[in-house]
């Protein structure tokens, strides 16, 4: 019989999903995109990066799905705290906005990445850096990807920080203080 007094599975899905999303995006920006730039042939650089990102996409999707299911379950079981404890709803709101922005940035980067993939093997300086021979539509996608490669780990990292704050809000002294603050206002 399952123990319904804890939320271990939901917390694990939230935390592991978020960690994989953050870590994978950061490793991709630093490791994968950086490594692709050292390929000898400029026409192979995008191809190498694209192959890596294509392999990561299903795992990233699974990580985002796990995070989403876990986060929604944690919200559901903490719905009373959202209204009763001062500060919890605000933290949850910030996390929701960050999650939406991170999902949007991740989806858009996938669309842009597909544009680069569809170009075949264009000559590029690196995964997110065009050169003089890069087709204009690929160069435009790369410039946007250059920003998104840092935006996604920044957003998911901020989500981790907010989750840390939300964990602190569950400490008994924080719950008591938040409930008393809500009653006093």
Residue 183's pLDDT is: 73
Residue 136's pLDDT is: 98
Q: How far apart are CA 102 and CA 158, in angstroms?
A: 10
pLDDT category at 93 given cuts 50, 70, 90 is very high
Residue 181's pLDDT is: 74
The mean pLDDT value for 106-118 works out to 97
Angle at 44 between CA 27 and CA 38, to 5 degrees: 55
Residue-wise pLDDT tens digits, 128-159: 999 999 999 999 999 999 999 999 999 999 99
Per the rule left: phi > 0, alpha: psi between -120 and 50, beta: everything else, 171 is: beta
Q: Is the pLDDT of residue 2 over 60?
A: no
Residue 42's pLDDT is: 96
pLDDT category at 1 given cuts 50, 70, 90 is very low
* Mean pLDDT value across the chain: 92
Contact 16, 105 (CB under 8 A): no
Q: How far apart are CA 109 and CA 155, in angstroms?
A: 14
Q: How far apart are CA 127 and CA 130, in angstroms?
A: 8
Q: How many CA atoms lie within 13 A of 76 on its CB side?
A: 9
Q: Is the pLDDT of residue 7 over 50?
A: yes
Long-range interactions of 76-83: CB distance < 8 A, separation 24+:
77/7, 77/10, 81/169, 81/170, 81/175
Residue 5's pLDDT is: 66
pLDDT category at 182 given cuts 50, 70, 90 is low
pTM over 0.75: yes
Residue-wise pLDDT tens digits, 43-90: 999 999 999 999 999 999 999 999 999 999 999 999 998 888 889 999
């Amino acid at each position: 019989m399952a123990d319904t007094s804890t939320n271990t599975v939901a917390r694990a899905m939230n935390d592991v999903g978020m960690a994989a999303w953050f870590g994978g995006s950061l490793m991709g920006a630093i490791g994968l995109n950086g490594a692709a730039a050292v390929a000898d042939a400029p026409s192979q650089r995008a191809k190498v990066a694209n192959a890596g990102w294509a392999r990561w996409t299903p795992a990233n999707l699974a990580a985002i799905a796990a995070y989403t299911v876990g986060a929604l379950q944690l919200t559901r079981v903490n719905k009373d705290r959202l209204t009763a404890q001062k500060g919890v709803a605000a933290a949850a709101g910030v996390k929701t906005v960050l999650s939406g922005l991170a999902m949007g940035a991740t989806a858009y980067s996938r669309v842009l990445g597909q544009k680069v993939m569809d170009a075949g093997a264009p000559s590029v300086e690196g995964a997110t850096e065009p050169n003089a021979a890069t087709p204009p539509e690929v160069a435009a996608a790369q410039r946007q990807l250059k920003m998104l490669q840092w935006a996604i780990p920044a957003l998911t990292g901020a989500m981790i920080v907010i989750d840390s704050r939300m964990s602190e809000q569950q400490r008994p002294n924080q719950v008591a203080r938040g409930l008393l603050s809500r009653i006093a206002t």
